[in-house]
Structure 1
Amino acid sequence: MTSADLTHQLASSVRAALDARGATDTVEVTESDLVLERPKNRAHGDWSSNVAMRFAKRVGVAPRDLASDIAGDLASSPLVRAADVAGPGFINITLEPAAAGVLAKRIVDEGDAYGRGTSLAGRAINLEFVSANPTGPIHLGGVRWAAVGDSLARVLQAAGGEVTREYYFNDHGAQIDRFASSLVAAHLGEPTPEDGYGGAYIGEIAQRVARAAGAELDGLDRPALQERFRRDGVELMFGEIQQKLHEFGVDFDVFFHEDTVHASGAVDRAIERLRDLGHIFEADGATWLRTTTFGDDKDRVLVRSNGEPTYMSGDIGYYLDKRERGFDECIIMLGADHHGYVGRMMAMVEAFGDTPNVNLQLLIGQMVNLVKDGEPVRMSKRAGNIVTLDDLVDAVGVDAARYALVRSSVNTTLEIDLDLLVSRTNDNPVYSVQYAHARTSAVQRNADQAGVSHADFDPALLVHGTESALLGGLQEFPRIVEQAAELREPHRVARYLEELAGLYNRWYDNCRVIPRAGEPVTPLHHTRRWLNDATSNVLRNGLGLLGVSAPERM
């Protein structure tokens, strides 16, 4: 019995209790109203619910009295061993061992599908993340978004969403001008411009452009040379960014060029749509969007008096373009310096007649700091003044890097201890989870040799306390995935896996899957093999949502 199964049974019992008091016509019960929680003290049962306290006032009875009615109906279920009332009206529920244990077989049978749901079915979601300008290697902030964004995409897909990963490719503007100037200076042997980009990568890109162009550079004046290095340098830099992201396990479905939003007419269409809705006005020769109507601190210029579009015009055109492409939800992951961006964007969404934080959702991430030997890591040999994706992967590997970047809420500044991430101890969270999976695989190999198989399965045999705890943890996985998708918080999956690894290790220390030498193989051994393999499956599925491998040997 999963938590979903028990929720369904609880809803039926609540309705029966209300019906007995003649209240079913006035009080509606939906399963979303019911909350099941794991008691901190497992002696209090497998699950606990405060449902009686939520409905008692609406029915006009004491919470404990309503709880007694609900518990009495629950206890009549063959899947429930006991339902007890505690405190002011909590219901503690203990399942029959067979009802809990049958989950092990279900998980093995479902394989990769276990944990996947349908809460986001039919929702077309555009997830835009990283979107680093092609002026240099991806720095740590972008690396965090690469790991979190890709994991979030996987979680949203596991919840049934139709997810498109999108990279907004900004190859114009002042930053690109400075990048091109830096390449030209490196090519000519000149010092880096005062506002230019330093680091060894500038010289590397400049050399590659020059080798590819050959004699075509001869005789070019400075503006022509600047344009050639801009075009070819951006292409090379962006190609490197794509390759590094791919090696990090992150690929995109769409690379959207900034020019597209203007060339496609999306900006003009957006302005006309907003004008028709009464939110555009002209003042001082410029075109404005009246965002103060929707809570912004000031109205926003879309087109300057000289006819030049502002950055905000691109925002409204890009948002409209996404909506016209059929996306119900547009999620954009932004850096810590974009907090002031939220108000104007949500005002823009509301001006279009859409719902802020639904049709457009902005996730703001905080900084990442690296520590080695107890000291901050600040400099990159290649990039000069930033720590890059390559630096992190070279230090700890892809798996450890991704896991470390995902396992904490993006709302918090993240400090990564490089020494910890390469240690082979349970203090290293990625090692502890991967090792638990490798241990389940070792048990499988040894079980095969000992003749312990899936031949028999008797869930009623799984009565040891560590087995009940492990089954309880396995039951939680679908709920954790759904919650991570709903809250846009993939770190919840990582923290769950760490808890599950601990539950498995305690079970492993207490319950043998392989008989001792000279002992016969019993149905209990076979049944425990199912539980071991179910845990292996959930660990593997969970690590897959984080883009982290599940090794069979370590």
Structure 2
Amino acid sequence: MTPEELSAFIRASLSESIVDGTISLSEDDVPTEIKVERPRSREHGDWSTNIAMQLAKKAGTNPRAFASILVEKLENSSDIAKTDIAGPGFINITLNVAAAGELARSILDAGTEYGRNTAGRGETVNLEFVSANPTGPIHVGGARWAAVGDSLARILEATGVNVVREYYFNDHGAQIDRFSKSLLARAKGQEAPEDGYGGQYIADIANEVMGAHPEVNISELSDTEAQEFFRENGVNLMFAEIKKELDDFRVHFDVFFHEDTLHKSGAVSQAIETLRSKGVIFEQDGATWVRTTDFGDDKDRVIIKSDGDAAYFAGDIAYYLDKRNRGADHVILMLGADHHGYIGRIYAMTRAFGDTAGKGENHEILIGQLVNLVRDGEPVRMSKRAGTIVVLGDLVDAAGVDAARYSLVRAAMDTTLEIDLGLISSRTNENPVYYVQYAHARTKSVDRNAAEHGVTRDVFDPSLLDSEADGELLATLAKYPEIVSQAAQLREPHRVARYVEDLASAYHAWYGKSRVTPRADEKVTATHQARLWLNDAAGQVLANGLGLLGVSAPDKM
């Protein structure tokens, strides 16, 4: 019996009690899904629910009395071995061995769908992440957002959400001017401007631009013409390189949105007029302002400066409205630690449009923290290519895509992350990604060994999964759907990473105590077959969890 099946049975038992009059409620009072959780101690049973405490007051009784009525119904199920009412009204439920073991069949029947749900069906979420300026390679902080953002997208999709992955290119403004000037300087053999960009990649792009356009002699161009030449061609090359870096990192976007289009298309003017119609635009000191203080901001914001140029905030306004007009029910924006001060003004702008802002609302901002790399206990601060920063390519070169992605996503995004390059590139159990991938590879090795010994899944008697180790592994497997739901609701992909580590630990412990293949003097038994089902179920869930993190599940290590 899966947690979902138990939840449905509890709800059916409540409905039966309502119909026969033993519980005074209406069907509308009963939640669509009854939450069941693992008790902290296995001694208290396989599952626990607090539904009696939720509904007792509405039913005009106390939680323990409510629970005693419900328990009578639950104990009619042959799948439930016993129930217990604990504390103020918790109902602890112990399944019989066969019902618990049936989970292995349910997992293998569901395959890659195990753990997925439809809670978010009908919702469209625009998830914007990374969005590095097209002026250089993706730094290691951006790499964290690439791993976390893509994992969050996969997890949201596992709950039925339609996710639009979006990358915003800041290709309008001063940083592009500095980038093109830096390319021009390198092409002339000069040092980069004081406020420009350094690193070998600038020289590489400048040389590539010149190589692709042998007909152009920059010495014959004015500085303005030469700078525009490098703006057009250099930005495109940098853009293409960033895309390739992300593709190689298994991060793929549905939309690459260019900031410049907001200004060229008139979207900025349209957004301002939309706010003007809502009465929140005013003129002062020759500039155009939006009254964001009416919506929780600490001060009003300029959107058109006194010189007639659009302020950066004007682009933010137009971009949000554009996303909503494209059909996004929810907009999730992932930003780095240095953007914490933007939250107030962005949420105020959202409310000015008449939308809601905050966790789970129309506009939601997630702030991440920095990444520090160390090797042999010493900080790694320099890139061979980028000069002053460590970039995504450096991390992948040192550890590979799997280890890099897993290491970047396994910690809560709002905490500073330290990654030991020596550890994550090692093939030891101290390396978390190796530990989990090895567990999956071990399930496949058991499969191959079982086939050689004639152990198949032709027969399955779940009642034979009766050892303590079997029970512990089944209990861990049963938690996976809840973990996926929590990770989606809380926007915390690291929960999936920590779960697969727990599952790997439970599997390795089970493997050390359980035999799937017979000894030399034994024949194949139904117990061997039942444990093969459990082995394969563990492998399936490990693969499913790693898949949500964009990490491979190898058959061999």
**Shared fold, TM over 0.5:** yes
- One-letter amino acid of the counterpart of residue 359, structure 1: N
Aligned position for 1:445:
448
* One-letter code aligned to 2:341: G
Q: Compute the displacement of 1:516 (Å).
A: 0.9
- The whole-number CA distance in structure 2 between the counterparts of 1:514 and 1:548 is 30
Q: Is 1:187 paired with 2:204?
A: no
- Which residue of 510, 513, 517 maps to 2:516? 513
* Residue number in structure 2 paired with 1:102: 102
2:406 aligned partner, one-letter code:
Y
Tell me the alpha carbon deviations over residues 122-177 of structure 1, each in whole angstroms, 9 at most, x when there is no partner: 11111111111111111011000011111111111111111111111122211111
Q: What is residue 90 of structure 1 aligned with on the other side?
A: 90
Structure 1's unaligned 5+ residue stretches are none
Alignment partners' CA distance in 1, 2:116 and 2:180: 47
The CA distance in 2 between the partners of 1:27 and 1:376, in whole Å, is 58
Does 2:97 align with 1:131?
no
Partners of 1:184 and 1:229 within 8 A in 2? yes
Maintained 8 Å contact 2:15/2:27: no
In structure 2, do the counterparts of structure 1 residues 106 and 28 end up closer, same or farther at CA, with 3 Å as the change threshold? same
**Structure 1 counterpart of 2:386:** 383
Q: Which residue of 2 aligns with 1:42?
A: 42
Measured after TM superposition, the shift of residue 201 of structure 1 is: 1.2
Q: Aligned partners of 1:427 and 1:20: how far apart in 2?
A: 58
Using the TM superposition, give the Cα deviation of residue 51 of structure 1 relative to its aligned residue in structure 2, in angstroms. 2.7
Moved more, 352-361 or 52-61: 52-61
Q: Distance in 2 between matches of 1:509 and 1:495?
A: 21
Deviation at residue 20 of structure 1 after TM alignment: 4.9
The alpha-carbon distance between structure 1 residues 7 and 363, as it changes in their structure 2 partners (threshold 3 A), is same
For 1:462, the equivalent position in structure 2 comes to: 465
Structure 2: give runs of 5+ residues left out of the alignment.
none
Given candidates 469, 479, 484, the residue that maps to 1:481 is 484
The one-letter code of the counterpart of 2:327 is: G
Task: Work out the CA distance in 1 between the residues paired with 2:309 and 2:182.
Answer: 27
5 Å matches for 1:253-332? Answer: 253-332=254-333
Structure 1, 244-253 or 277-286: larger mean CA deviation: 277-286
CA separation in 2, counterparts of 1:506 and 1:31?
37
Of 82-91 and 339-348, the range deviating more from structure 2:
82-91
CA distance in 2, matches of 1:163, 1:27: 31
1:473 positional shift: 1.5
Per-residue CA deviations over 1:257-278 (Å, capped at 9, x if unaligned) read: 1121122222222122212222
Q: Which amino acid aligns with 1:381?
A: K
Give SS of 2:307's match. Answer: coil
**1:436 CA drift (Å):** 0.3
Q: Does the 8 Å CA contact 1:27/1:58 hold for their aligned counterparts?
A: no
How much has 1:64 moved relative to structure 2? 2.8
Q: 1:29 maps to what in 2?
A: 30
1:434 equivalent among 437, 440, 450: 437
Distance 2:332 2:52 in 1: 38
Q: Deviations over 1:308-336 (max 9, x none)?
A: 11111111111111111111111111111
CA distance in 2, matches of 1:62, 1:123: 38
C-alpha spacing 1:473/1:26, structure 2 compared with 1 (3 Å): closer
Is residue 148–residue 409 contact of structure 2 (8 Å, CA) maintained in 1?
A: yes
Answer yes or no: is the 8 Å Cα contact 2:48–2:93 preserved in 1. Answer: yes
Contact 1:274 1:352 in 2 (8 A): yes
Q: Which residue of 1 aligns with 2:12?
A: 12
Superimposed CA distance per residue, residues 436-478 of structure 1 (whole angstroms, 9 cap, x where no aligned partner): 0000000111111111111001111111111112112212212
Pick one of 547, 553, 556 that aligns with 1:553: 556
Structure 1 equivalent of residue 200 of structure 2? 200
Counterpart Cα distance in 1 of 2:53 and 2:161: 34
Matches for 1:354-393 after TM superposition, within 5 Å: 354-357=355-358, 358-393=361-396
Report the alpha carbon displacement of residue 89 of structure 1 after superposing the two structures with TM. Answer: 2.6
* Structure 2 CA distance for aligned equivalents of residues 257 and 89 of structure 1: 56
Q: Counterpart of 1:259 in 2: which secondary structure? A: helix
What is the percentage of aligned positions where both structures have the same residue? 60
- The CA distance in 2 between the partners of 1:58 and 1:154, in whole Å, is 39
The one-character-per-residue Cα deviations of 1:213-253 (angstroms, maximum 9, x if unpaired) are 22412411222222212221111111111111111111111
Matched, 1:154 2:154: yes
| Residue of structure 2 equivalent to 1:216 | 216
**DSSP-derived class of the 2:538 partner:** helix
Q: 1:418 to 1:171 in 2, by over 3 A?
A: same
Residue 400 of structure 1 corresponds to which residue in structure 2? Answer: 403
For this pair of structures, how many residues does the alignment match?
553
Q: Give the 3-state SS of the residue equivalent to 1:376 in structure 2.
A: strand
Native 8 Å contact 1:152 1:488 kept in 2: yes
Q: Distance in 2 between matches of 1:22 and 1:5?
A: 22
Q: Is the 8 A contact 2:2 2:103 kept in 1?
A: yes
TM-score by length of 2: 0.96
Deviation of 1:435 after TM superposition, in Å, equals 0.4
Q: Deviations over 1:167-208 (max 9, x none)?
A: 111222111111112112212122222111111111111111
Which secondary structure does the structure 1 equivalent of 2:56 belong to?
helix
Residue 165 (str. 1) matches residue 165 (str. 2): yes
Residues 23 and 59, structure 2, Cα contact 8 Å, conserved in 1: no
| DSSP 3-state at the match of 1:502 | helix
Aligned mates of 1:103, 1:334 — CA distance in 2: 40
Q: 1:446 and 1:141 mapped to 2: Cα distance?
A: 43
SS in 1 for 2:91: strand
Contact 1:7 1:31 in 2 (8 A): no
Offset, 1:423: 2.2
Q: Which whole-Å CA distance do the structure 1 matches of 2:271 and 2:207 have between them? A: 42
Alpha-carbon deviations, 1:488-532, whole Å to 9, x = none?
111111111011111111111111111111311111111211111
Aligned partners of 2:164, 2:527: CA distance in 1, in Å?
A: 46
In the TM superposition, what is the alpha-carbon distance from 1:61 to its structure 2 partner?
Answer: 3.6
Q: Is the 8 A contact 1:7 1:36 kept in 2?
A: yes
User: For the residues of structure 2 that align with 1:521 and 1:214, how far apart are their CA atoms?
Assistant: 73
Shift, 1:16, TM fit: 5.2
How far residue 87 of structure 1 moved from its aligned partner, in angstroms, is: 2.8
Aligned partners of 1:229 and 1:146: how far apart in 2?
28
Give the letter for the 1:255 counterpart: F
Distance 1:22 1:168, change over 3 A: closer
TM-score (norm 1): 0.96
Q: Return the alpha-carbon distance in structure 2 between the equivalents of residues 265 and 186 of structure 1.
A: 35
Contact 1:72 1:83 in 2 (8 A): no
